[in-house]
Amino acid sequence: MTALEKATGDVVFKFEPFVLHVLCQELQDAQLLHSVAIDSGFRNSGISVGKGGKIVMAVRSTHCLEVPLSHKGKLMVSEEYIEFLVHTANQKMEENM
């Protein structure tokens, strides 16, 4: 809260989703891992194939959070709401585990 009160610009509370990149030897390996990831709830997962044929499967969570807290130095939310955001982000981190 002390840092927020001293902020002169915009401040955003941000929680990034879990991401795991896996280099796969074969496309079939990536497809199998993709199916497992989707079935496990990682709905933003995907496969990419680079120019050199490198196959990367990205396991991505949907657990993200981005909330503005201040604008031009003016705090836009209450301390109680910030505590709620921190609690919510911590729950999302537990779900990632």
Chain centroid to Cα 15, Å, comes to 6
Q: Which pLDDT value is given to residue 94?
A: 87
Q: Where are the domains positioned within the chain?
A: 1-17+63-96, 19-62
CA distances from 61 to 37, 41, 88, 97 (A): 9, 8, 15, 11
pLDDT in tens, 21-70: 999 999 999 999 999 999 988 889 999 999 999 999 999 988 889 999 99
pTM over 0.75: no
Q: How far apart are CA 19 and CA 64, in angstroms?
A: 11
For 47, phi then psi, to 5°, come to: -120, 135
Alpha helices in the chain (DSSP H): 2-6, 27-39, 79-96
